[in-house]
Amino acid sequence: MDSKREMLRHCVATLAYRGGKVLRGAPEEFASYRASETSRTPGEILAHLGDLIDWALSMARAQQTWTNSKPPAWQEGADRFFASLTALDEYLASSEALGVSEERLFQGPIADALTHVGQLAMLRRMAGAPIRGENYFKADIETGRVGAEQEPPRLEFD
């Protein structure tokens, strides 16, 4: 497999690790928290994350489609996020051709998804349910590990 595709798969695994950290243990009421009158709720952001990853897969398959999903229950949205990451990673791991370049997949949906995971982390703090900071350089992130089950943090801090 070429190095660009392998790096993109590592980005997807990083997204799974960071996304998993911010999704796990969120209180039930967090999904509907609204930081301001015009901001998205965490539930809406989570639905958008699923849409982004599904969009990435459609681009990879050269069949670009976009969907604006309504926010489901929190766990259902989290399950969709990881299922979408798994489907994308499986496609990237295959020998199937990419419909767009690795760079475009990263700069569009993957980078956008990383931004939204950061928003969820910030919103958790604002909602009174913060996650612990972490030295992500030391995290055990492995290409291909894109499900909800992730290794525990190696070095967290307050």
98-124: per-residue pLDDT in tens? 999 999 999 999 999 999 999 999 999
Q: Look at residue 158 in the predicted model and tell me its pLDDT.
A: 84
pTM assigned to the model: 0.96
Q: DSSP characters for 11-43?
A: HHHHHHHHHHHHHTT--GGGGG--SSTTSPPHH
Can you list the positions of beta strands (E) in 50-104?
none
The dihedrals phi and psi of 121, each to the nearest 5 degrees, come to -65, -45
Q: pLDDT for 44-101, tens place per residue?
A: 999 999 999 999 999 999 999 999 999 999 999 999 999 999 999 999 999 999 999 9
- The residues that bridge with 133 in the sheet, in sequence order, are 157
Between CA 19 and CA 114 the distance in angstroms is 8
Q: pLDDT for 1-14, tens place per residue?
A: 699 999 999 999 99
The dihedrals phi and psi of 146, each to the nearest 5 degrees, come to -125, 10
Q: pLDDT for 135-147, tens place per residue?
A: 999 999 999 999 9
Query: Cβ distance 54 to 86 under 8 Å?
Result: no
The dihedrals phi and psi of 35, each to the nearest 5 degrees, come to -70, -30
Q: How many CA atoms lie within 13 A of 98 on its CB side?
A: 21
